[in-house]
Copies of this chain bind each other. A is one copy, B any other.
């Protein structure tokens, strides 16, 4: 199984084969075994199978085709709503409308999501995480009717793989692991750690296609621009306030 995890790759193209309810539920059931904060399970997942509903979600994900072509779209949410409703119904006075609860719920949602994904891949499914969920959280809240104290964190499209793409590179392990304390990077270590990534044929082509001078510029000027990051940060902060997590 470690071999499978090590060999995994993101799958963006799916066959027309559907995922049965029983398999999906089995995988979600496994995922509920993930660790979570104080066993409060501060998460929810919304399952989208209906084509019309996928089309409602698609613009929020900048119309990435996987949203419409995957048999199942899962929106994993930080959710304090259920717990708070339970508490209020049991003569308890919760103070969960704040940033710490949001962080705990985000962590819970991510552990649940990732356990689902590992289990799904083990069963031969392929999947793709969409990072667009926090960008357009407001639109997703509307599309899925998410109430107060629920915020979508990440979306995963799932299906049977139509193709197995090449596995993308990763930085060498020492780039992300620090022993005992954080050893900050210096120009020499940055050069060393990013050398192989920058030398990859695919990345060199990527820089040329985007008419940039360096690979980093493709990220800062095109993919994750300052203007977009700042605009969507404001949107997300507004979402946190409106959903009741910024008391």
A28 within 8 A of B: yes
Give residues of chain A (140-173) contacting chain B, Cβ–Cβ below 8 Å. 144-147, 150, 153-154, 168-171, 173
A103 within 8 A of B: yes
**A–B Cβ pairs within 8 angstroms, 7 of them:** A38-B223, A45-B178, A50-B180, A79-B176, A92-B217, A145-B181, A145-B184
Query: Are B214 and A100 closer than 8 Å at their CB atoms?
Result: no
Number of copies: 2
Give residues of chain A (60-113) contacting chain B, Cβ–Cβ below 8 Å. 77, 79, 81-83, 85-87, 89-96, 98-101, 103-104, 106-107, 110-113
- Residues of B within 8 Å of A47, CB to CB, are 177-180
Contact of A220 among B2, B94, B129, B147 (CB under 8 A): B94
Given contacts A114-B34, A176-B44, A180-B47, whether A190 and B86 have CB atoms under 8 Å apart is yes
Query: Are A131 and B104 closer than 8 Å at their CB atoms?
Result: yes
Query: Are B187 and A89 closer than 8 Å at their CB atoms?
Result: yes
A61 to chain B, nearest CB (A): 14
A46 within 8 A of B: yes
A20 within 8 A of B: no
**Complex Cα gap A3–B145 (Å):** 34
- Residues of B within 8 Å of A93, CB to CB, are 220-221, 226
- Residues of B within 8 Å of A40, CB to CB, are 219, 224
- Taking A53-B181, A118-B118, A147-B184 as known contacts, 18 extra A-B pairs with beta carbons closer than 8 A to each other, sorted by chain A number, are A32-B176, A38-B219, A38-B224, A79-B176, A82-B193, A85-B185, A86-B194, A95-B226, A98-B233, A100-B134, A100-B233, A106-B110, A107-B129, A107-B131, A107-B154, A114-B115, A147-B182, A230-B247
Question: C-beta contact mask, A222-242 vs B, less than 8 Å → 1, else 0?
Answer: 011111011011001100000
Query: Are B38 and A131 closer than 8 Å at their CB atoms?
Result: yes
Q: Give 6 closest A-B pairs by Cβ, nearest first.
A: A95-B226, A110-B110, A114-B114, A92-B216, A90-B216, A90-B214
